[in-house]
Structure 1
Amino acid sequence: MSSLIGITDIEAAAARIAGHVVRTPTVPSPGLSALLGVPVTTKLELLQRTGSFKSRGATAKLLSLTGAERAAGVVAVSGGNHGIALAVMAAALEVKATVVMPRSAPERSVALARDAGAVVRLTDGMAEAFRLVEVLRDEGLTLVHPFDDPVVIAGQGTVGLELAEDADELTDVLVSIGGGGLIAGVAAALRARRPGVRIWGVETEGAEAMSAALRAGGPVPVELSSVVSTLSAPSVSALTYEHVSALVDEVLVVPDREAVRGCLELAEHAKLWTEPAAGCLLPAARRVLARAGAGARVGLVVCGGNAPTGDLRDWAERSGLG
């Protein structure tokens, strides 16, 4: 029996989180259209509360908790954005939150989660962070998983619901992949509302959990080496793998350097300050257009904008981008 999220689940999530999250703009980008040579529409999730789409899934999950679960508190593992989202939204809903992050997470993300009132636990790596979260869950906290949860996926799917309602006709939509929660929800929404659109996932080299799963026929652990901590899941889940294998046309992998270059291009041509998890969409879009041709109409889910200026400068310098 399929466990795919349906459009009714996503519509219910949209109704539940309305008033708690932002219906972010879906706008044409003249600058990116000129850069890529085809019409480009952007879904601006970097303008979401806490700076990324993660607020949607976190809020959907928090609002689904029982009274006992709220009283016990929640825990999450995060490379940055999920932790910020859970900390801020939990504080708004008066739920105690613990966030586990790897030490490689951006210092700003750690500070924002702490400033929101969450208890932040740091580990040596993302795999260790996931293991610690399991221990804390066994101690009684409710896990708000960043992607392996149908309620969270339905919340993230509201991005795709809004894109389908607000965008002009699109031929190709590109979505970044970490653990796969965003693309699972977006793909479920688009397949229901825009069945003819091609859906492309994008990963960075060294954060290729979904690509590895597709090759293996199911989730497998991967070695992480990408600078893009927000995409660095040690594996995808069976739930997100099932969605991607059934609903997504292809997953593309781009180098870190090109993801960082994409951030600089988004700043210059679209006036958007993004993180590399969004920057990776531009080099992937060029590959899509090489196949799709001049008749394509591209949609980009600009997933977040929480990259500190110092980090982006350092990444650009290390990549030889100046």
Structure 2
Amino acid sequence: MLINVADVEAAAERIAGHVIRTPTVPSPGLSAFLGAQVTAKLELLQHTGSFKARGATAKLLSLGEAERAAGVVAVSGGNHGIAVAVMAGALDIKATVVMPRSAPRRAVRIAEAAGANVIVADAMDGAFALAEELRTEGLTLVHPFDDPVVIAAQGTVGLELDEDAGELTDVLVSIGGGGLISGVATALRARRPGVRIWGVETEGARAMSEALAAGGPVPVQLSSIVSTLSAPSASQLTYDHVSALVTEILTVTDAEAVQGTLDLADHAKAWAEPAAGCLVPAARKVLERVGEGARIGLVVCGGNASASDVTAWAERFGLS
């Protein structure tokens, strides 16, 4: 069953005071760079550096006393784990975070510093399996995307974008497991029925594209450097939302995502991660499809990439 805009509005009330209403601003630099009017929703300025704080907070606030006492477990390529660790610490809830070995070391350090017990698994599918094992032992799973409470809270990004942005024809949202785009599309389709919603994936993390091609979630092989988008599969819940509400999924290469990160720094003056950088090359593809007169909204989902990480990726792909 799909969530609705009333669920998103209720989530907004629940998490108010715990999260930041991040800026929604026109970007003259990106507008000139892309040749179309661009508005950026700066979720990289959210608590913990990404939109993930919204869903984590909503889920943690929904727990009963026994669940809070037992603690929670989360699996993450970086941002969700940081969000659960930090927000659980703020709410005095014990958290365990399982991350794949590919997760940024910085994410592991931040989660540990927030008081979480961090366990590193060899790969993302193993991380999900271990988190499920811990759930059966009594911890409450705070899933990064397969949870209507989490999706509704991520959708508050869309509510704020609707309320704070001017006219938009097209909104671009990055996809890992699909929780953010499911919530944003729910909110925007209700508030602005004519807006087109575009999802963006990297070639080595195509969980939603593969699900749409197969008619439902399927396991995918992950090879992207963008760990924060590297879900081993979509869920039925996110697949149902995306298939009903999203215009199209666009795919970019890892190199294009890293170049987009550099372009955001140069033209938007925003230090983002490749999970957000991928929106810039995808916006060019959207403009090729829709033609003149487009007014683009970009959900700049996170900024948890270190300068050394971005430099290393840029050197690997021969970028400047």
**Fold agreement, TM-score > 0.5:** yes
What residue number does 1:6 align with? 4
Which one-letter code corresponds to 1:86 in the other structure? V
What residue number does 2:16 align with? 18
What residue number does 2:111 align with? 113
What residue number does 2:163 align with? 165
* Alignment deviations for residues 50-108 of structure 1 (CA, whole Å, 9 cap, x no partner): 00000000000000000000000000000000000000000000000000000110000
Aligned counterparts of 1:295 and 1:11: Cα–Cα separation in 2: 31
Contact 1:201 1:252 in 2 (8 A): yes
Structure 1 residue 221, shift from structure 2 partner: 0.1
What residue number does 2:56 align with? 58
Q: CA RMSD in A?
A: 0.4
Of residues 189, 195, 198 in structure 2, which corresponds to 1:197?
195
Aligned residues: 320
Aligned counterparts of 1:94 and 1:281: Cα–Cα separation in 2: 36
* Alignment deviations for residues 105-134 of structure 1 (CA, whole Å, 9 cap, x no partner): 000000000000000000000000000001
What residue number does 2:234 align with? 236
**Secondary structure in 2 aligned to 1:175?**
strand
Aligned counterparts of 1:137 and 1:148: Cα–Cα separation in 2: 14
**Secondary structure in 1 aligned to 2:198?**
strand
**Secondary structure in 1 aligned to 2:217?**
coil
Q: Which runs of 5+ in 2 are unaligned?
A: none
Contact 1:37 1:294 in 2 (8 A): no
Aligned counterparts of 2:317 and 2:195: Cα–Cα separation in 1: 34
What residue number does 2:138 align with? 140
Structure 1 residue 292, shift from structure 2 partner: 1.0
Aligned counterparts of 1:176 and 1:92: Cα–Cα separation in 2: 28
Asked whether 1:176 is paired with 2:174, we answer yes
Structure 1 residue 291, shift from structure 2 partner: 1.2
Of residues 56, 70, 73 in structure 1, which corresponds to 2:71?
73
Aligned counterparts of 1:310 and 1:205: Cα–Cα separation in 2: 23
Aligned counterparts of 1:164 and 1:5: Cα–Cα separation in 2: 18
Of residues 273, 276, 281 in structure 1, which corresponds to 2:274?
276
Aligned counterparts of 1:154 and 1:96: Cα–Cα separation in 2: 24
What residue number does 2:35 align with? 37
Asked whether 1:225 is paired with 2:223, we answer yes
Asked whether 1:130 is paired with 2:128, we answer yes
Calculate the TM-score normalised by the size of structure 2. 1.00
**Secondary structure in 1 aligned to 2:173?**
strand
**Secondary structure in 2 aligned to 1:305?**
coil
Structure 1 residue 254, shift from structure 2 partner: 0.4
Which one-letter code corresponds to 2:168 in the other structure? L
* Alignment deviations for residues 36-61 of structure 1 (CA, whole Å, 9 cap, x no partner): 11110000000000000000000000
What residue number does 2:88 align with? 90
Contact 1:13 1:158 in 2 (8 A): yes
What residue number does 1:215 align with? 213
Which one-letter code corresponds to 1:25 in the other structure? P
Aligned counterparts of 1:138 and 1:87: Cα–Cα separation in 2: 20
What residue number does 1:101 align with? 99
**Secondary structure in 1 aligned to 2:20?**
coil
Aligned counterparts of 1:101 and 1:122: Cα–Cα separation in 2: 5
**Secondary structure in 1 aligned to 2:69?**
helix
Structure 1 residue 293, shift from structure 2 partner: 1.2
What residue number does 2:265 align with? 267
Calculate the TM-score normalised by the size of structure 1. 0.99
**Secondary structure in 2 aligned to 1:178?**
coil
Taking only the aligned residue pairs, the percentage that are identical comes to 77
**Secondary structure in 2 aligned to 1:179?**
coil
Which one-letter code corresponds to 2:317 in the other structure? S
**Secondary structure in 2 aligned to 1:306?**
coil
What residue number does 1:206 align with? 204
Aligned counterparts of 1:127 and 1:253: Cα–Cα separation in 2: 22
